[in-house]
Structure 1
Amino acid sequence: MSKDSETDAFLISRQLKNKNFDIKLAKCRSEFECLLATNQFDLILCDHHLPDLNSEEALDIVRKKDPYIPFIILSGALPPGVAVILMDNGANDFLYKDRPERLVPAIFNALSKYKLEKERLEMQKQIQFSENRFRKLVESAQDIICILNREYQITYYSLSSIT
């Protein structure tokens, strides 16, 4: 890790600790993979250039573990178009290191979206469970059950109606 990267990591860590965030720092690929395997994170901040890992590779590793965890990329400079590619691949945000005032709002925004996505997925699971329970109940009923739409067309009928 270069001296500039160490300074950036220190300044960012200090800024986030002042906002009561718990920080774990990885300086290379093996540390990153170990931390990811042994911890549950609410959000990943990733420098675009680490000695043996770039943000695109880190994003791929994270997405294989959790497709929804917020992933924010920090960089001093990025080649044209790379940020767009990273966002298309699932990064939640991209920030330049020289704009530290954007970091905390970006984190809260990403965490808010993550919370909403988790709630949406949970609701989806509950709906699926309810639909399966309803289907089993209807299919085991002895009576004929028929559902019509507003045009009085049959949209569902129980199997007991054909036996």
Structure 2
Amino acid sequence: MTAEAPAPGTAAPPYGVLVPSHVHFDDLDALGLLHNGRYPVLVERAWSAYWQALGWSYRGNWAEAEDACNAVREFTIGYERPVTLSGDYAVHLWLERLGTTGLTYGFRYCSADGAVTHARGRRVLVRLDPGTLRPTPWSERFRKEAQQLLPAEDLAV
């Protein structure tokens, strides 16, 4: 299954993508809840899986990283319903804003079918020039692929 496809039997979300995720027993805290610090890691893994499926990845060389040379400017998360069991879940990813050098994406950590939301948040990224580490514009290739994650009414961005 590719990162772009929802789990079998899962309806595609109306915008963005549903990326499979798995909670392991050791992700749970002493109370048997998914530890609050694991949510950002699981979201990051889903984001990475999505872009890697499209051919984007960071391989240890910023000069060759292209649009993967970016930094997190902001990360917020709200917890709505605890995850109490290990097993299969999903991360619903979408773009809220695609600017010249930055982007904001939204996410939900949810049940594998996308029906139950456990946490939701947003993350702001800035693309960096590998030589100066200053903001630089996203490539046209990246912009084209990223626009697929925008809600339909925002495709004119």
TM-score, structure 2 as length reference: 0.24
Highest Rg: 1 or 2?
Answer: 1
Higher relative contact order (CA 8 A, sep 6+): 2
Structure 1 or 2: larger strand share?
2
TM-score, structure 1 as length reference: 0.24
